[in-house]
Amino acid sequence: MLDRYSITLIRQPLAKLAALPDNYGISANQITLFGFVLGLFTLPALAFEHYSLALFFIIINRLFDGLDGAVARRQGITDCGGFLDITLDFLFYSLIPFGFVLADPQQNAIAGAFLIFSFIGTGSSFLAFAIMAGKRNIESPVYKQKSLYYIGGLTEGTETIACFVLFCLLPQYFDVIAWIFGSLCWITTATRIWAGYHTLKN
């Protein structure tokens, strides 16, 4: 829901920052992989309940995720880069609730499992429509700079990051936040299925 606004807000600063790695011959795919590796440190930080450190790695991962797209737009967007980016994004997203489950299985396990289940809904509806839209050469009217059709919803990337920040700031309420955000994810999934089906049908 908020991605169209956040993307507009950060596009110019990231475009300027992208000149640095581009000038040194660093590819967008290298930035994607490096950001993902840094993001993996979020898991042990969460598991050992170092929530400030986990938040640091989440922010760093998301900064690299924005930077790789800016570099890709300078160097040329590729299918392999888009594939790598979206795959590692979804893996990183599911890593966060798993980390909280490891931190406190007794309190967080069911809520964490529900949130990962919800991510399966948002992720599969997102990617399945992108595949079909690609086959029919349907382009997104809003996210034209993306390498695949970016179908929106109530819970997009911006909302997900905000949720992760809340998790780290209020870890004692992880289960409550996870149930609420997971429910919102299912609203997103339902609207994507409805909109995607009717778009392809027509």
Q: What mean pLDDT is predicted for residues 90-117? A: 97
| pLDDT recorded at residue 166 | 98
pLDDT > 80? residue 4: no
Catalytic residue among 65, 85, 89, 175: 89
* Residue predicted with more confidence, 177 or 2: 177
CA distance 175 to 167: 9
Query: What CA–CA distances, in Å, run from 94 to 116, 126, 141?
Result: 6, 15, 28
Per-residue pLDDT tens for 105-128?
A: 999 999 999 999 999 999 999 899
89 is catalytic: yes
Percent of the chain with pLDDT over 90: 63
Summary mean pLDDT of the chain: 90
Is domain 3-201 annotated with CATH 1.10.10.60? no
